């Protein structure tokens, strides 16, 4: 039988090979390293996982599509962006994962997101594979007409690679209800099919699900609450710092407030706001969702309780809970040290891989409960899968039913991660628990389906 140290040596060699085969993709390297460094116990215990090149297949996408996206701005100038769709693994079901429109998007970013999505989707137990896509297009500051023309051009290529039984995109950073609407309209126009299940995050009047916009933020708070319960505490009266001011951050703040916590921050690329009275959700939604403005406007209009810190980092604000909800690698080692000094009890990731490996290590060493994104922010994709179920049945569920299903799924994910970590000798380590639990589900399906 192979020992754990021998297995880890093999995995380390594979990580070196991944870096060699995928140059200049640091985000993907980071995501692969974070998973593979936790798998030695399970591979040593179940050597069948090492036999048919299973892990080598797992880290190689089944399909990678890169395409040109030409579109015309309002001045008549032709612009050209690059589109991506990485269909990573379909052992458990059709590829499922969002589209991100942001200047930072490149192949390495999409591969990291798609790789994370494999395990996140597996943890939901809902029979969906992992994929991700997007473009380096920046919708910020663009007119509705420009966004529409871009989305139509993007879908003109993407449509041939997706479908409700093949690949079902959703939204992500830069892709909200407006963009999903334009994308769906073009898909319908090209295919002449009302295939509601091909995209999730749709409007509620035409195939969307109630609670879908809220799901990622709500789910993250539910996961954080479960981690606290494991330690004999609850959210009531806790102070929370939240980064970001987009969809995930807004509904994280909303659920924290509903469960009795006090969320005191929000942020964007210009800096952050701290509001001693707690973030005023109505004002934040007006500025970010209606006016598409910046968070400094919140401080100007909120009054004496709020102040804007240009270029600052929310993690310097003392709090019991931290919920990074903006983007990858936004919480670094220095930020973790500041949180620990200020007595943080739990960190739960609303964004994808927002905490650097060094920061994760520090937080875990300090005994902080740490919820990795593949578990903590799985609520969004879970409700996307529930949207697919409603589309298939041509029906719509009540908000109460969807929220009940979401709460059940997040509780199950927490229990699975916690129990798996204990089973493999890492009690309280949600990173190890999430990685191994997700891996086991995907690996068992891959073994059953043969070498493909």
**Catalytic positions, please?**
132
Please name the residue that has the structure tokens 């943890």: 123
User: Is 387 within 8 Å of 202 (Cβ atoms)?
Assistant: yes
CA distance 230 to 452: 41
CA 349-352-356 angle, to 5 degrees, is 75
Task: Give me 46's structure tokens.
Answer: 């179940």
Q: What is the 3-state secondary structure (H, E, C) of 291-352?
A: CCCCCHHHHHHHCCCEEEEECCCHHHCCCCEEECCCCCCCECHHHHHHHHHCCCCEEECCCC
CA distance 92 to 109: 23
User: Largest alpha-carbon pair distance within the chain?
Assistant: 67
User: Is 414 within 8 Å of 376 (Cβ atoms)?
Assistant: no
The torsion region of residue 93 among left (phi > 0), alpha (psi -120 to 50) and beta comes to left
CA distance 212 to 224: 19
Q: How far is CA 422 from the centre of its chain?
A: 25
Contacts of 26 (CB under 8 A, 6+ apart): 108
CA distance 246 to 83: 22
Task: Give me 285's structure tokens.
Answer: 């939604």
CA dihedral 213, 172, 193, 386 (to 10 degrees): -50
CA distance 105 to 81: 11
CA distance 348 to 181: 31
CA distance 80 to 401: 43
Cβ atoms < 10 Å from Cβ of 440: 17
């Amino acid at each position: 039988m192979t020992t754990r140290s021998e297995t880890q040596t093999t995995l380390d060699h594979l990580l070196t090979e991944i870096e060699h085969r995928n140059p200049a993709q640091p985000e993907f390297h980071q995501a692969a390293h974070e998973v593979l460094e936790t798998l030695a116990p399970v591979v040593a215990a179940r050597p069948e996982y090492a036999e048919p090149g299973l892990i080598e297949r797992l880290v190689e996408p089944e399909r990678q599509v890169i395409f040109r996206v030409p579109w015309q701005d309002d001045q008549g100038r032709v612009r050209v962006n690059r589109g991506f769709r990485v269909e990573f693994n379909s052992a458990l079901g059709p590829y499922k994962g969002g589209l991100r429109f942001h200047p930072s998007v490149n192949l390495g970013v999409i591969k990291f997101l798609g790789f994370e999505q494999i395990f996140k989707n597996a943890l939901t137990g809902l029979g969906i594979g992992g994929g991700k896509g997007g473009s380096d297009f920046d919708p910020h500051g663009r007119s509705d007409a420009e966004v529409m023309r871009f989305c139509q051009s993007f879908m003109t290529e993407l449509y041939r690679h997706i479908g409700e039984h093949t690949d079902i995109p959703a939204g992500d950073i830069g892709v909200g209800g407006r963009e999903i609407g334009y994308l769906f309209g073009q898909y319908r126009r090209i295919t002449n099919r009302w295939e509601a299940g091909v995209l999730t995050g749709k409007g509620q009047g035409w195939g969307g699900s109630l609670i879908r916009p809220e799901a990622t933020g709500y789910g993250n708070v539910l996961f954080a609450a479960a981690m606290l319960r494991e330690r004999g505490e609850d959210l009531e009266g806790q102070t929370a710092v939240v980064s970001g001011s987009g969809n995930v951050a807004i509904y994280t703040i909303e659920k924290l407030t509903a469960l009795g916590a006090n969320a005191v921050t929000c942020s964007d690329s210009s800096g952050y706001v701290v509001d001693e009275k707690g973030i005023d959700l109505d004002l934040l939604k007006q500025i970010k969702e209606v006016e598409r403005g910046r968070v400094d406007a919140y401080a100007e209009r909120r009054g004496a309780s709020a102040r804007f810190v240009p270029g600052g980092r929310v993690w310097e604000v003392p709090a019991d809970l931290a919920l990074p909800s903006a983007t990858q690698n936004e919480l670094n080692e220095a930020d973790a040290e500041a949180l620990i000094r200020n007595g943080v009890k739990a960190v739960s990731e609303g964004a994808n891989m927002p905490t650097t490996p060094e920061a994760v290590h520090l937080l875990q060493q300090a005994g902080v409960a740490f919820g990795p994104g593949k578990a903590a922010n799985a609520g969004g994709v879970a409700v996307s899968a529930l949207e697919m179920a409603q589309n298939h049945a041509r029906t719509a569920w009540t908000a109460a039913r969807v929220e009940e299903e979401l709460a059940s799924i997040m509780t199950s994910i927490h229990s699975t991660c916690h129990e798996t970590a204990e089973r493999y000798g890492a009690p309280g380590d949600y990173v190890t628990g999430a990685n191994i639990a997700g891996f086991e589900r995907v690996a068992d399906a891959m073994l059953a389906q043969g070498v493909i």
